Structure 1
Amino acid sequence: MTSQPATIAGNPVLRVPPAAPAVAAAYFGASLAFHADVSDVAEALAAGGDPGFVLLDSRSTASWDQGHIPGAVHLPTALIAEQAPRLLDPAVPVVTYCWGPGCNGATRAALALAGLGYQVKEMLGGFEYWAREGFESETWQGRERRSADPLTAPAGTDDCGC
């Protein structure tokens, strides 16, 4: 006896059926062109030398002072149109970040930069997940590293396997 698939009407996951594989591949491929995750950014920065991109913190000065990623450029979204041409090389891709997944500030910054002709990606998770994954942050008082949150980073290893 073969099992019957769950009825679509009674299954909230399949109420809207999955996209065709080719459509899904195009979507997920495009997503990776627009996004980078915290671990990949950390790995690129830790490798030393030129990572091939500029990391841009688009938050306010008060937020920057509260803590930011070492080596990031501080450029609040409201100042991008005025200051980006002076601070950023249009030939170098930019990765934006803001507070975290509940904030779309990095998305707004990426949109502003793309409108000025920059190649841009958004760092998923923002500063929140940078800190939660245990990567070093910086304030005017110096650098600090928090313990990784086991809900966001693997325990006992640097490799999550994804």
Structure 2
Amino acid sequence: MTDALDADHIAHLRRRLEWETDASDVHAAQEAGERFVLVDTRGDAAWAQGRAVGAIHLPTARIAEDAAAEIPIDVPVVVYCWGPGCNGATKAALAFALQGYRVREMIGGFEYWAREGYPVETDGGRIHRAPDPLTAPTAGVACDC
């Protein structure tokens, strides 16, 4: 690779990390008390079925109308939808960005939040699932990556 290509590649990777995060990093940020709002952008039935503990519910279709009333503009936002096969979080991130929010997507979505063993809440209460060994280490809470 040439130096210019290396610099472009590095810049690209830095930009991705600026706009994307993952379940492990979000959970660590929650535990550290970092200031941000985690937003579940799925519909009502999905929210009732289960969501990341600490998330608020704001479906993508309501972001333009309701975000300002629910989330101060100076608070960073992290959005998620179902999982890696869904671009709902990208649509939600765009809706927040158009409103002027600093927003990141939680890649992997709710699927990887739950599969990695982070706390899930349903309308019936909290659930704690064991980490799926295909997505997270089973001996601890960090992937060391």
TM-score range, shorter chain: over 0.9
Give me the whole-angstrom Cα distance separating, in 2, the residues matched to 1:43 and 1:125: 16
Aligned residue number for residue 15 of structure 1: none
With 93-102 and 147-156 compared, the bigger mean Cα shift is at 147-156
More helix by share: 2
Aligned residue number for residue 69 of structure 2: 86
Give me the whole-angstrom Cα distance separating, in 1, the residues matched to 2:64 and 2:112: 27
1:78-105 deviation per Cα after TM superposition (whole angstroms, max 9, x unaligned): 0111101100100001000000000011
Aligned residue number for residue 23 of structure 1: 8
Three-state SS of the structure 1 residue aligned to 2:52 is coil
Aligned residue number for residue 3 of structure 1: none
Give me the whole-angstrom Cα distance separating, in 1, the residues matched to 2:29 and 2:49: 24
1:155 CA drift (Å): 2.8
Give the structure with higher Rg (CA): 1
Give me the whole-angstrom Cα distance separating, in 1, the residues matched to 2:88 and 2:41: 7
Percent identity, aligned pairs only, is 56
1:45 CA drift (Å): 1.1
The alignment of Structure 1 onto Structure 2 pairs a total of residues equal to 142
Give me the whole-angstrom Cα distance separating, in 2, the residues matched to 1:46 and 1:159: 12
Superposed CA RMSD in Å reads 1.1
TM superposition score normalised by structure 2: 0.94
Conservation of the 8 A alpha-carbon contact between 2:21 and 2:106 = yes
1:21-58 deviation per Cα after TM superposition (whole angstroms, max 9, x unaligned): 111100000000100111010111123x4x21100000
Three-state SS of the structure 1 residue aligned to 2:51 is coil
1:113-152 matched pairs, under 5 angstroms: 113-152=96-135
1:156 CA drift (Å): 1.3
1:157 CA drift (Å): 2.4
Aligned residue number for residue 72 of structure 1: 55
The aligned amino acid for 1:53 is: F
TM superposition score normalised by structure 1: 0.85
Give me the whole-angstrom Cα distance separating, in 2, the residues matched to 1:120 and 1:53: 9
User: Tell me, which stretches of 5 or more residues in structure 1 are unaligned?
Assistant: 1-18
